[in-house]
Structure 1
Amino acid sequence: MKSTPSKQILQATALGILAGMRTTAAMVAATHILSRGRFKRLGGSPLRFMQSPTVATVCKVISVSEIVVDKLPSTPNRTEPGGVIGRSLSGALAGAAICKAAGGKALTGALIGGATAIASTYAGYFLRKNIVKSSHIPDPVIGGVEDILTIGAGVTLCANA
């Protein structure tokens, strides 16, 4: 994976946005991209596990369960502390791995991915709540639309990596 610093920043930002929409989405995209090739820059790094095809598969399976659990009435809001922390960590880890694999600084990717995930968490939450309120469409339906958008964005990111 060869990219310019600006592309690395854009990818870390996109991963953060995905993490804010669905906690596992950033990890799914990053591990999918990284599992498709061996990146020498990850070889001696603690982030090297991110290029494992097994890790990529596990992330994909977990993401399906997240989509299902999100629709349950007992699921807490994404803005609860655990949700914000999980999304931030997901965006940070995915951003760090992608930037490191591309020859950038893992810390830069982690900061961008984590911060963007926090912003996306709140933006997505308030956008979804306002759409539900103004349209009178049930929340799970809007959540399904959000899932489709998240999956589409993730696929686009992977295709353009």
Structure 2
Amino acid sequence: MMTAAGMGAMAGMRALSAPTFLSQHLAEEGASAKASPVEQFLASSTTARVLPVLALGELVLDKLPGMPSRLVPPVLLMRLASGALVGAAVARQKERSVLGFAVVGAVAALASSCALYAVREFATRKLRIPNIIAGFIEDALVASAGHRLTSAMG
């Protein structure tokens, strides 16, 4: 369950990063014979090549002025969906309740979206850390979490 929560939290920080790390892991490990269509999609070599490019685009866009807040409903909904997706995929890998893990992933995405929004606002407004630096710090957290979580998946 901790892996689903961690992946969900990553989705709350960067919506495409969690599916990207999971896709890379599944592509390397190969999809099981009982893999769901979502797992097969994530495990495909095409998805494993395309998602990192899209995730990189998200990292760049995050630093641009005028980008909408992560708490704007359409953006937040995308993060929640991403958290639910990775939570469900982790559940299938662990042979656990897909619905339960999807909810854990979505709730973790919501919590991290709200928490990181507050932290980033504090860092940029009160501590006067430039937004681009705060964004790079968040990117580093996502990358570290992604590597650790996928390594723990075995």
Is the TM-score greater than 0.5?
A: yes
**CA distance in structure 2 between the aligned counterparts of 1:141 and 1:26, rounded to whole angstroms:** 21
SS at match of 2:68: coil
Q: What stretches of structure 1 of length at least 5 have no aligned partner?
A: 1-8
* Matching residue of 2:25: 33
* Matching residue of 1:46: 37
SS at match of 1:108: helix
Aligned pair partner of 1:157 in 134, 149, 154: 149
Coordinate RMSD, CA, aligned: 1.2
SS at match of 1:41: coil
- Alpha-carbon shift at residue 121 of structure 1 (Å): 0.5
Q: Indicate whether 1:60 and 2:15 are aligned.
A: no
TM-score norm. by structure 2 comes to 0.92
- Alpha-carbon shift at residue 133 of structure 1 (Å): 2.2
AA aligned opposite 2:84:
A
AA aligned opposite 1:39:
S
* Matching residue of 1:86: 78
Q: How many aligned positions are there?
A: 151
AA aligned opposite 2:37:
P
AA aligned opposite 1:141:
I
* Matching residue of 1:5: none
- What are the superposed Cα offsets for residues 45-84 of structure 1, whole Å, 9 maximum, x if unpaired? 2322121121122111100000000111121010000111
AA aligned opposite 2:41:
F
Which consecutive segments of 4 or more residues in structure 1 shift more than 4 A?
none
Q: What stretches of structure 2 of length at least 5 have no aligned partner?
A: none
* Contact 1:18-1:150 at 8 Å conserved across structures: yes
* Contact 1:41-1:101 at 8 Å conserved across structures: no
TM-score norm. by structure 1 comes to 0.89
- Alpha-carbon shift at residue 108 of structure 1 (Å): 1.6
* Matching residue of 2:95: 103
